[in-house]
Amino acid sequence: MKTKINIIKKLEKDKIFIDEAANVIKDGGLVVFPTETVYGLGANALDSEAVKKIFIAKGRPQDNPLIIHIADKDDLYKYGKNVSKIAKDLADKFWPGPMTLVVEKNNLIPDVTSANLSTIGIRMPSDEVAREFIKKSNVAIAAPSANISGRPSPTDVKRCIEDLDGRVDYILGCNESEVGVESTIVDVSVYPPCVLRPGGITLEMLKEVCQDIYMDKGIIGKDANIKPKAPGMKYTHYSPKARVRVVDGNLDKCVEKINEMVHNYIEKGLRVGVMATDETRNEYKEGLVLSLGTRNDVSTIAKSLFSTLREFDDKHVDIIISEAFMEEGLGVAIMNRLKKACGFDIVKII
């Protein structure tokens, strides 16, 4: 398949590309588009033939439901059923933005979109291009992240092209994704509501709307054996080609341990990458050191996490050793992605 690629540089001037992309959706095709979380791979959520193509293009397991994207808050009621007061309050507070609400679905949504579940994940993105594109398409857009299944999610158009050129009809590029990790998923089809995936909106923020909201035990991941509630969270994810290991504990001791591990791997003839932070990057003696950002503002870490994993792949390292982060606020989402990237291979320093 020949993929048409267009990058929006100035929204007013390049709106034509959004119209083109929306026409592809209307014709039942696949479009990669930017959002504030990560880039999405979209199709008409109500057209089961179009949605099937998403699963094929990504190599995504069919039992992993898709999130549908809307441009108008009221569409929560158009596609959802029995929407609770808490769902409404959360939407009012955090939409448009990086939060997905799981609600009972109505019969407009085909089974392939929801992977045969009776519920559906719905999100209204804040990204201007995303919203304009959904509006112009005049339908909800089913969209997982625009990567081959299992790989780190793409936060810039270059990575989408790498994975999906030739597999989709249209790639609509724009800026880098602001947040860098996927949306927070909250199941509001049950009470108390449950966070199925940590993301840009933290548990503390959600609790301002409903004190009883809690985090699914399967994702806080003290124990890799507790099964997560969201079907997709059980899959290996975010894996770069290199093996990933994470070192957790007192930061000074972690740096010491990582230096020792790097040295040992290099002695064995391996190419090693160190995923550091601005605070520690100069303390590593060997290996390819890349900083994720500053510990003083973990949003910088979230934003560059996936692109840094992919950058190590570009440099053909065999193993990536990463520092860990405090599991609070946005750190919960960062550690959730890191744990999955390393397959829970975490070295604990006591």
- DSSP letter at 289 equals E
d(CA 201, CA 126): 13
- If the CB atoms of residues 71 and 143 are measured against Mg ion, the closer one turns out to be 143
DSSP string, 303-336: HHHHHHHHHHHHTT-SEEEEE---SSTTHHHHHH
Judge contact between 176 and 38, C-beta under 8 A.
Answer: no
Residue closest to ligand AMP (Cβ): 232
Residue 31 binds ligand AMP (CB under 6 A):
no
| Cβ-based neighbour number of residue 53 at 10 Å | 18
Among 231, 249, 329, 343, binds ligand AMP (CB under 6 A): 231
Residue 119 binds ligand AMP (CB under 6 A):
yes
Please report how close the Cβ of residue 65 comes to Mg ion at its closest, in angstroms: 12
Q: Would you tell me which residues interact with Mg ion (CB under 5 A)?
A: 144-145
Tokens, residue 34: 């930017």
Please report how close the Cβ of residue 324 comes to ligand AMP at its closest, in angstroms: 22
d(CA 177, CA 196): 22
Which of Mg ion, ligand AMP, none does residue 110 bind to, with CB < 5 to 8 Å depending on kind?
Answer: none
Size of the site for ligand AMP (CB under 6 A): 20
Judge contact between 251 and 236, C-beta under 8 A.
Answer: no
Residue 323 binds ligand AMP (CB under 6 A):
no
Among 164, 186, 196, 209, binds ligand AMP (CB under 6 A): 196
- If the CB atoms of residues 103 and 258 are measured against ligand AMP, the closer one turns out to be 103
Question: What sign for the dihedral angle of Cα 141, 147, 150, 151?
Answer: negative
Among 233, 244, 301, 330, binds ligand AMP (CB under 6 A): 233
- DSSP letter at 145 equals B
Residue 114 binds ligand AMP (CB under 6 A):
yes
Residue numbers at the binding site for ligand AMP (CB under 6 A): 64-67, 102, 114, 117, 119-121, 144-145, 182, 185, 196-197, 230-233
